[in-house]
Structure 1
Amino acid sequence: MLRDNAPFYIVMNAGSGHAETELRSRIIREVLDEAGRPFHLRIVEDGSRLADIAAWAVREACANDGVVVAAGGDGTINTVAHQAVNAGCLFAVLPQGTFNYFGRTHGIPEDLADAVRALLTARVEPVQIGMVNERIFLVNASIGLYPTLLEERELDKKQFGRSRMVAAFSALKTLFGSVRHLRITIEQDGVERQLRTPTLFVGNNALQLQQVGIEPLSAALEEGTLAAIAPRPLSRLGMLGLMLRGALGQLGSSQDVHAFGFRRMTVKKRRMPGGRRIKVATDGEVCMLSTPLEFRVVEGKLRMLKPI
């Protein structure tokens, strides 16, 4: 239950630069001070401390019947949400990323002042999350080419700035580099099948799936499933064609894509270098996990403040 004057414990990522961080923190303070709402704002200057600061905020929120609030992009939101799920703490979001799939899906205003005001009258609702082994994901998780693309994109963003154009350029550069195909075994409902694919993408966000044209699976998310997408092995030009289809919202009509919904799925790798560990991206953050990978949907564990 959310108290009318429940304090907010806000964790804000300062990744956008000092001036932008100052502006955003001032907006948050002004709106909440004007409303007379108690809050504590922690700004994360060093990304390596994000998880520790998120854990502190969750402990304080739990101890004081408050709400932990993630202010940042999908990676920041994921880190704070992970702590909130483990502790059973109320959770809220002030999205600040480039794409903001999670915030937009749940109707959170993109304007920061409006998003803060929306927290003041929001209602608590359970939000579906995905898990791969013990890591949660709110938007997507992936193995293969996609994690590599994300790593290259972060490097390019540091050099050229954060924009959709830079993201597109980085994707093309990665695509025309060295692409290694995965050989994996997927087990679902006791049935195994073999796949060879450049990447396995698991989606938990209807907006993202709609944008690339996977309409049936985006609707299935509302019924408590996750969506798996795996392109067939293609040439570089073939992969470029798939990317263009996705950009145009037509990926679902391609014969070169395996796409299916599931609630639980085990993925084992076959004849891949690197031993039992594999690179996995969850909401834009890349880590190494041990195989086999178990992807599953989890309902009711994340209690989130959503705008009325």
Structure 2
Amino acid sequence: MRDIADKVDLSACRLCVIGNLGSGKKNGRQQAQAIRDALEGRVAEFALRETDRGEQLSGLARQAVEDGFDIVVAYGGDGTQSAVAGALAGTETVMGVLPGGTFNYFARDMGVGETVEDALETLLDARIRRVDVGQIENLVFLNNISLGAYPHILKTREGIYKRWGRSRLAAYWSVLVAMRRLRHPMRLTAKVDGRSRRFTTALVFVARSAYQLDAFGLDGADAIRAGNFAVLIAKARRPLPLLRSAFRLAFGLSAKDSDFDLIITDSLTIETGKRQQLIAHDGEKTRMASPFHLRVRHGALKVLVPADGSSKTEDGGA
């Protein structure tokens, strides 16, 4: 990542906020009004475009680019940030980040703040940073993609959220429930720089968030900051050993040699024995055809970050 030197003059910019009313726990309408009050009148033109359907986010962001907005701000969780980033990557349109989800890993990685209030302060006093993004086939992701156990955890989590509401406790509980239902490991081939390695595993985790790996006590954060993926392949093949690994992660005891094989690269191909596989990406899930081609798109996304180079993330950010 590298900073573009000049501070942004927001008063000269046309700015559009893309809001996901389905994200997070706060009242969406009240939060939208707070965002409008903070930004309207501070920019050359302000627009707020909202939806409660996640599949519409990419289209709204693409339309904002076509309409000529200088800055498109994503308000919502990591899935919302990823959808908007996918529309903006490779364009000259700048992305702003307003966290509104459960974990908000991308906002933490960028150091923009973990609350909407802090992130609004960042927008009002920001510079542009060029950010690397991950891509699997035609899909852009910001934090991670995974195969195996984690997509099934997301399916379980959706049911738990509907019954008990969104919370970190509910998210963690869904891991335990999903692990009990896991039956068979995956057999896959990872191809890097012309060399193939075969694995039998319950989980593959391709990380692009240095903050997330640091938070989990996993190796690979420095490699991500250097522009690579950290590809973690669980040595566990069954639910119980994988669950033990999860508990070690929770207490900061995990190490790559005991729980994961680690591959550092900025491009790879993963081939599974199935023609189609459920893929988790930034908290969302999509069924895709194997083999999967992944690459880092270096500097593909322009993001607003604090102008003074500081971080509003509690532990300092990336």
When normalised by structure 1's length, the TM-score is 0.91
Of 213, 219, 225, which aligns to 1:222? 225
* CA spacing shift, 1:104–1:19, aligned 2, 3 Å: closer
Could you tell me which residue of structure 1 aligns to residue 57 of structure 2? 50
- Structure 1 window deviating more from structure 2 (145-154 vs 50-59): it is 50-59
Distance (Å, rounded) in 2 between the aligned partners of 1:242 and 1:153: 19
Post-superposition offset of 1:235: 3.8
Distance (Å, rounded) in 1 between the aligned partners of 2:143 and 2:242: 23
Could you tell me which residue of structure 2 aligns to residue 121 of structure 1? 125
Percent of counterpart pairs with the same letter? 32
Post-superposition offset of 1:21: 0.8
Distance (Å, rounded) in 1 between the aligned partners of 2:238 and 2:55: 38
Distance (Å, rounded) in 2 between the aligned partners of 1:258 and 1:94: 34
Could you tell me which residue of structure 2 aligns to residue 303 of structure 1? 302
What is the correspondence of 1:1-308 to structure 2 with a 5 Å cutoff? 4=10, 5-16=12-23, 20-33=27-40, 35=42, 38-60=45-67, 63-64=68-69, 66-215=70-219, 217-252=220-255, 255-270=258-273, 272=274, 276-308=275-307
Distance (Å, rounded) in 2 between the aligned partners of 1:145 and 1:235: 10
Distance (Å, rounded) in 1 between the aligned partners of 2:74 and 2:305: 13
Post-superposition Cα deviations, 1:241-267, rounded to whole Å, max 9, x if no partner, equal 100011122222551321121111111
Distance (Å, rounded) in 1 between the aligned partners of 2:25 and 2:31: 10
The secondary structure found in structure 1 opposite 2:59 is helix
Contact 1:211–1:246 (CA under 8 A) maintained in structure 2? no
Contact 2:185–2:237 (CA under 8 A) maintained in structure 1? no
Post-superposition offset of 1:87: 3.7
Distance (Å, rounded) in 2 between the aligned partners of 1:234 and 1:292: 21
Post-superposition offset of 1:302: 0.5
Q: Any stretches of 5+ residues in structure 1 without a counterpart?
A: none
Contact 1:210–1:249 (CA under 8 A) maintained in structure 2? no
Distance (Å, rounded) in 2 between the aligned partners of 1:52 and 1:24: 22
Distance (Å, rounded) in 1 between the aligned partners of 2:253 and 2:141: 25
* CA spacing shift, 1:18–1:143, aligned 2, 3 Å: closer
Distance (Å, rounded) in 1 between the aligned partners of 2:121 and 2:40: 11
Post-superposition offset of 1:86: 4.8
Distance (Å, rounded) in 2 between the aligned partners of 1:101 and 1:19: 18
- Letter of the aligned partner of 1:48 in structure 2? E
Could you tell me which residue of structure 1 aligns to residue 312 of structure 2? none
When normalised by structure 2's length, the TM-score is 0.89
Distance (Å, rounded) in 2 between the aligned partners of 1:13 and 1:196: 38
Could you tell me which residue of structure 1 aligns to residue 311 of structure 2? none
Contact 1:27–1:112 (CA under 8 A) maintained in structure 2? no
- Letter of the aligned partner of 2:283 in structure 1? G
The secondary structure found in structure 1 opposite 2:263 is strand
Q: CA RMSD in A?
A: 1.9
* CA spacing shift, 1:89–1:33, aligned 2, 3 Å: closer
- Letter of the aligned partner of 2:306 in structure 1? P
Post-superposition offset of 1:303: 0.9
Q: Any stretches of 5+ residues in structure 2 without a counterpart?
A: 1-5, 308-318
- Letter of the aligned partner of 1:282 in structure 2? H
Contact 1:267–1:291 (CA under 8 A) maintained in structure 2? yes
